[in-house]
Amino acid sequence: MPRIGIITAAALIVATLCHHVAACPFCPPSSPTLAEQLAESDVGVLVEWLRSEDAPDDQSEARTDFRVVEVLRSFETGPKKSQTVSVPFLRQGKPGDLFLLMAKRVEGITEWSLPIEVTEISAAYVKQAPSPERPATERLPFFLRFLESPDQLLANDAFAEFSRAKYEDVVAIKDRLPRDKLRKWLEDPETTKMRLGFYGLLLGLCGNADDGLFLAAKVFPPTAEDEVRLGLDGMMAGYVLLTGETGLNRLVEQKLNDTQQPDGDVYAVINLLRFLWQFAADRVPQANVAAALRPLVDRPQFAEVAIVDLARWKDWSVLDKIIARYGEPPFETPEAKRKAITFALACIKDGGNDPQPGTPAKQARRFIERLRTEDPEMLRNAERFFAPRPQANPDPTTKSPVGFFLVPHYWCGRC
């Protein structure tokens, strides 16, 4: 697989595995934000560096002393303003350097986290940042102001706030998105590449027809050999949000139907289709989205990925093709066989006890029974993988996913 294909496939796997880590559909997973860390801490103080002392021997520990400048949160007997706080680790600095220091109380002991160096500007940001308990639609406009801030701590933290926000909350503030700045950031070679997809999506939410042309100029030029086009999927999403079915049809024609396109561009369209299915049915009918994905079942390098999503979308129209090609390319490897069997098991699960002859579920059931004789070991392996993991305290109101296929795995987050 070309280098771009390997890199994009890896990103695709990360997106698959990070469903409960981040929320932005075109953002990398992020750590808890400063506001979240502070809200989860028992102590949060802004401090000035005083002195540090390395451990002189194995019997003692390094220490660093700070003076409390401002208490952001604390317990009754916790640190007070002007008090000296000592932490059991070495942190170099010079007098007057500002830090954010947080801690949790564990069995009566204050356990300090590593200090985060801040400036007066970033200290003000930490103090003013809205609490995670407030509605996201009230919080996000605050962080919007700090995207691409020259202070990297603020820029990274503001981006993390959006990467962990629900898509519908971002849509709710689309009228406040900085259209002109988004175009500038998308043009700026200094913009962090991992953010391009996110900015492309935002432009699709707030832009106009001219922005559709702007994004088209970003997504349609051919990808050079060995070029890594991070954010291509998000810019495609912004483009389709602005152009609807017309834009999707053009992408399918030029990026999917053209078998000479690099794997990375095809994976970007797959990510786009997942986004459209889950979040943009008002712009492109889901039937069109599934129809765009189905032809990839004929292409060995994408067939396994395609049937995962088609099963999740309960589109069983390719079942005939999968059964006919079981054991042959592209379903000849053990992993591909397992996915093909799981597709059939998901179809049976979805079809229930439908007594009508000729239904996909009936056809899938006949296929599975055939494998009990022809390929029993592979069938047992797939059935073990397909079975849902038991829960210690299952919630009776929660619908169990149909195997691994129907677990939503593209939008990474708490949606």
As a whole number of Å, the end-to-end CA separation of the chain is: 33
Same domain for 59 and 207?
A: no
The yes-or-no verdict on residue 321 having pLDDT over 70 is yes
Average pLDDT over residues 178-198: 95
Same domain for 277 and 355?
A: no
Same domain for 42 and 13?
A: no
Same domain for 41 and 10?
A: no
Short-list 263, 313, 362, 355, CA closest to 9: 263
Question: Which of the residue ranges 61-70, 126-135, 325-334, 394-403 would you say has the lowest mean pLDDT?
Answer: 394-403
Alpha carbon separation from 88 to 67, 107, 317, 353 (Å, rounded) = 15, 17, 62, 64
CA dist., res. 230 & res. 247, Å (int): 20
Domain membership flag for residue 350: yes
Residue that terminates a domain, selected from 253, 284, 315: 284
Short-list 273, 235, 238, CA closest to 252: 273
Same domain for 140 and 276?
A: yes
Q: What is the pTM assigned to this prediction? A: 0.84
- Mean model confidence pLDDT for the chain: 86
Which structural domain, as residue segments, surrounds residue 85? 36-127
CA dist., res. 334 & res. 270, Å (int): 23
Q: Say what the pLDDT of residue 367 is.
A: 96
pLDDT per residue as tens digits for the range 367-413:
999 999 999 999 999 998 877 555 545 443 333 322 223 223 333 32
Same domain for 141 and 92?
A: no
Domain membership flag for residue 197: yes
**Percent of all residues in the chain with a pLDDT value above 70, rounded to a whole number:** 85
Same domain for 117 and 217?
A: no
Counting the structural domains of the chain, the total is: 3
* Helix runs in 40-134, H state only: 120-128
User: Which secondary-structure segment (H or E) carries 68?
Assistant: strand 63-73
pLDDT per residue as tens digits for the range 199-228:
999 999 999 999 999 999 999 998 887 788
CA dist., res. 280 & res. 245, Å (int): 11
- pLDDT-derived band at 356, boundaries 50, 70, 90: low
CA dist., res. 227 & res. 99, Å (int): 40
Cβ(38)–Cβ(122) below 8 Å: no
Q: Say what the pLDDT of residue 394 is.
A: 45
Retrieve residue 179's tokens: 């259209």
Q: Say what the pLDDT of residue 15 is.
A: 40
Residue in this structure with the two tokens 């708490």, named with its chain if needed: 414
Retrieve residue 241's tokens: 């949000």
Same domain for 107 and 176?
A: no
Residue that terminates a domain, selected from 62, 95, 127: 127
Average pLDDT over residues 259-264: 92
Question: Which of the residue ranges 12-21, 258-267, 287-296 would you say has the lowest mean pLDDT?
Answer: 12-21
Residue that terminates a domain, selected from 111, 127, 143: 127
Same domain for 158 and 111?
A: no
Retrieve residue 319's tokens: 């079942």
Q: Say what the pLDDT of residue 402 is.
A: 28
User: Which secondary-structure segment (H or E) carries 37?
Assistant: helix 34-39
Q: Say what the pLDDT of residue 233 is.
A: 95
CA dist., res. 313 & res. 208, Å (int): 30
